[in-house]
Amino acid sequence: MRLVYLLLVIACILACNASKNLEKNKIVFANNNVVCHRGAWKKNMLPENSIASLKHAIELQCAGSEFDVRMTADDSLIINHDPFYNNLLIEKTNYADLVTFKLSNGEKLPTLREYIKAGIENNTSTRLVCEIKPSEISKERGKEIATKIVKLVHQLKAEPLIAYISFDYDILLKIIEINPKSTTQYLEGDKSPEQLKTEGISGADYHFSVFQAHPDWIESAKKNNIFLNAWTVNETTEMDWLLANNFDFITTNEPELLFERKKMSPTSSGMKLVWSDEFNYKGLPDSTKWTYNVGGDGGGNNELQYYTNKDTLNGLVENGVLKIIARKETKENKKYTSARLVTKNKADFKFGKIEVRAKLPAGVGTWPAIWMLGNNIEQVGWPKCGEIDIMEHVGFQNDSIFGTIHTETYNHTKGTQKVKSIYISSPYSEFHNYSIDWTPEKIDFSMDGVIYNHIINEHLSANEWPLDQAFYLIINLAIGGNWGGKFGVDDSIFPAIFEVDYVRVFQTKN
């Protein structure tokens, strides 16, 4: 009896010390959106949901570290993701039987109390994101688990450190009933931000694919002051998209990689995504964003294709990408058909960073391009309007990408265009990021983040620098022409497909 009393006293002292430590080390959550999924475990091969992985997340100064809570048969709150631990069903096994099995690094299976205390120690930056797993036994037991967790958090005075997440909506509502000031985020992905706000839920913490399917929920969440979190994001393409859309949190198994992508994102330099097409739909390109140049006039370059209008044989969105397809078929005395999409009269842009992720068509005779023309082209004509070629490629020179400007003074008809190229090893099998960083003073052309052409404003006249007005964007696949057809056209390559994963335009925030 005396031993039991002593243990209780020690537990109280430790809890008191932990709460004092939290008060002493005032939490100012890290100014990033990186949330480690079950701690920062992957790079150093630590056990998931271990205290070691939690401590490493704190060392990295991540904004949050997520962990999973379940309750044993004897009502012990423990940290584990799966309902089974060493083939034992947690909810029907006593903690004493579970704890005999060590984690891979020698740690014992942590209790929630131990985990929170470890999370308080030397932590001034990282929120503990507590996922309460739905009960395998009953909905009511799930609420009981939530009640015990909230009481323990209160006992440890750890409320400022904790956010609660769950796939069980009733668990979150129970937490709000106990403490309306709790931070809660829903995981299932079947409720809109407006619904969450009505119920007092703080955040939408959904799989990234849910937001891709409901892009309107992103703006709705921001409008309704609902936290945006996406899980579990381990690929750079998804990371970049979420960073571009300024998500509050991104849950990942790859926190180090996410930190790297965050540094590279235009949003890290104070820019904001102002226009984009992610092509997360099917059918014709979005008519609210794109229109078409139609006809077979050769584009001023003696090209051989006829550009069609709203024809899914030449312009189609499927599987998350825009496909511009050139075909060998006769139309209006032209031997080939293709598509040329433009944002003219839908959107125009003046300065900023424009990114297009694309995979190019292979074959001699192809001439894919991502480029821009000044809005005043009807008034002053080309080249006075200015032209910015973000990316051009010709099939006969398969290892090169070109970035160019054309103006009245500098253009290809005079051989004075400002152009440079960069080597590319896999234009046809991999997607690459083609971009420009455009300011009043300069324009930088990049491929996969590497600047290869830097053009400065000489401050002479509009003949040299007409690049201080609005431009519209063009994406097309030409066949043949003065440059693309320099070595003829290989008719065995058709259909030739130019794939675009996304188009994003960032501008400096006002």
Catalytic residues, which ones? 387, 392
Strand intervals (E) in 30-95: 34-36, 64-71, 77-79, 84-85, 88-89
Rounded CA separation 244/308 (Å)? 32
Measuring CA to CA, which residue among 295, 234, 239, 314 is closest to residue 43?
234
- Listing DSSP states for 313-334 in one string gives TTEEEETTEEEEEEEEEEETTE
Rounded CA separation 274/241 (Å)? 13
Q: Is 18 helix (H, G, I), strand (E, B) or coil?
A: helix
Q: Residue 391 CB: number of other CB atoms within 10 A?
A: 27
Rounded CA separation 492/22 (Å)? 69
Q: Report how far apart, in Å, the C-alpha atoms of 480 and of each of 301, 306, 371, 437 are.
A: 9, 12, 18, 30
- Report strand pairing: 127-132 vs 227-231: unpaired
Rounded CA separation 7/1 (Å)? 10
Interhelix angle 169-178/139-155, rounded to 10 degrees, is 40
Rounded CA separation 250/232 (Å)? 8
Strand intervals (E) in 226-333: 227-231, 249-252, 271-277, 291-292, 305-307, 315-318, 321-331
Residues in the chain: 510
| 53 CA to centre of own chain | 24
Rounded CA separation 271/264 (Å)? 12
Measuring CA to CA, which residue among 481, 506, 472 is closest to residue 385?
472
Rounded CA separation 250/326 (Å)? 39
- Residues pairing with 316 in the sheet: 323
Asked if 284 and 341 count as a contact pair (C-beta separation under 8 A), the reply is no
